[in-house]
Structure 1
Amino acid sequence: MSIEKIVEQALEDGYLTPAMEAEVGRICDTTSELSIEEYMALDRLMGALLTGEVVAVPRKQFINLMEELVLTEAIARVSEIEATSDCTLDLGDIAAYALNRLPPLYATTEEGAEFQRSRAKEQLQPIIAQQVSEAIARNINQPVFFPERQAISVNTGGELLGQVSELLNSYAHQFETAMAS
């Protein structure tokens, strides 16, 4: 999808979703030079974000308590192993492996989160421990297939606004020159 179409959709909906934000960032990162139309669209988006005409949807309006529980278990287990051996484990790989084999426990309020947390500790803790153990066993025995692989980066909500602002500032002189001719 093009920057113009993303901006048009955001203006129509009144929202800039995380997927739209990521796509604009990807286009800006991979394109050596944007067109005048793309700059104008980014300028419209920036203005709409600043005035509130378009709202950037936060990445998470909910949490998966299973992530917290798996990470707590994985950190404890990995710390024990790394303290007593020369083995280095990938916490992210271990957590992802275990999470892919466990049910999600989403909550949108603090009360819901506390309910899910206590329910999981009562009913799911043995299963969580088992999946983390299996993930650790796989991680220990796994050869390094792709040492050049890159971890997923996380963008915060304000990064797009900063990227758009920097992009517009760095190319504004080209835009003004093109409009003058």
Structure 2
Amino acid sequence: MSIEKIVEQALQDGYLTPAMEAEVGRICDTASELSIEEYMALDRLMGALLTGEVVAVPRKQFINVMEELVLTEAISRVAAFESTSNRTLDLGDIAAYALNRLPPLYATTEEGANYQRSRAKEELQSLISQQVNEAIARNLDRPDFFPERQVISKTASEGDVLSQVSSLLQTYAPRFEAEGSR
């Protein structure tokens, strides 16, 4: 894949995956000289990364190749869906749903990752597609939540979490304590 196509895909999807980043790096390392178009594409990508239009998915010391494959599939499907619909889908929820139903494929070296990728593409691609499709269907059937909902903070102290849970219970079950104490 060319730098221009990778940048175009990243701009379209809003994400730069580790695989895309590695491919750009490989092209830059092996090319004796980049064309004007390639430099312009890299400039567009850098600008998009700086403005947040494109988000770089972080690289790890070890990778679960299944995450990469599911994320690539989910980005493709979500982008296709959102281009023909006025609804937006939660990419994180879709990827998490599918990943929870697929086997992990961890690797610590590039050779191991390549092996896991080829193995997964041969043996698991249809299952990956099926789980991403199911995740999208579930995401579409999800009820609309109240806009004032808040995630329970991970950095909150135990007392803060308890007060948040208590507040949630008071909001959604206001008569629970009154009826339970009788």
TM-score by length of 1: 0.49
